[in-house]
């Protein structure tokens, strides 16, 4: 009879995955833990602070693309909100380094030059460089644009606005 009050807990202990799942739900991985993982930055995984993403004001957001590591980050002021893999320009079609702003957002962009759909296109230059969803190979293979996974691109597209600063930097040393 003394075990009766503990019966629900005992049942949970014997149901595979329930206690672990409950404990995991309480712990959200920090960005520092994500970048400390083996294989980062080569990973194809995206990290985001879901709570901050929901609450952040778009006016404080900016994007940094790291050409050397083929990663991008969305920041709210100086706090990392998202960290995602990218595919930038190859040697013959390099992605330009510098500071840009989002000039145009086109959810259903189509490139006449390349004959390709470029979903969630965010234009950075008048001559066609932008961020968009596309194949991400973790090495520079685009014609100058910054390609992102569909998941990362849609999330970014839905949060940033026209005028959002985007900095593209060559160094692969990233501020954690």
109 is catalytic: no
Rounded Cα distance between 109 and 145, Å, is 13
Rounded Cα distance between 121 and 128, Å, is 10
* Cβ pair 165, 99 in contact under 8 A: yes
What is the SS3 assignment for 18?
helix
* Cβ pair 75, 61 in contact under 8 A: yes
Of these residues, 120, 132, 143, 172, which one is catalytic? 132
Rounded Cα distance between 71 and 67, Å, is 7
145 is catalytic: yes
Of these residues, 145, 153, 172, 176, which one is catalytic? 145
What is the SS3 assignment for 86?
strand
Radius of gyration for the alpha carbons in the chain, expressed in angstroms and rounded: 20
Closest residue by Cα to residue 142 from 72, 64, 84, 67:
67
Q: What are the Cα distances from residue 173, in Å, to 26, 69, 127, 128?
A: 32, 8, 29, 27
Active-site residues: which are they?
Answer: 132, 145
């Amino acid at each position: 009879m003394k075990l009766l009050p503990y019966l629900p807990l005992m049942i949970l202990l014997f149901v595979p995955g329930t206690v672990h799942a409950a404990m995991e739900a309480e712990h959200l991985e920090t960005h520092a833990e994500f970048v400390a993982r083996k294989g980062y930055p080569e990973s194809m995984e995206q990290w985001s602070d879901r709570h901050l993403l929901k609450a952040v004001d778009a006016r404080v957001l900016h994007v940094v693309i790291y050409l050397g590591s083929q990663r991008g980050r969305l920041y709210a002021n100086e706090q990392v909100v998202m960290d995602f893999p990218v595919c930038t320009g190859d040697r013959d079609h390099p992605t330009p380094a510098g500071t840009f702003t989002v000039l145009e957002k086109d959810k259903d962009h189509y490139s006449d030059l390349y004959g390709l759909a470029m979903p969630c296109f965010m234009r950075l230059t008048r001559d066609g460089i932008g961020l968009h969803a596309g194949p991400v190979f973790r090495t520079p293979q685009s014609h100058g644009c910054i390609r992102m996974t569909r998941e990362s691109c849609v999330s970014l597209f839905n949060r940033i606005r026209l005028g959002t600063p985007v900095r593209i930097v060559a160094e692969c040393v990233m501020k954690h």
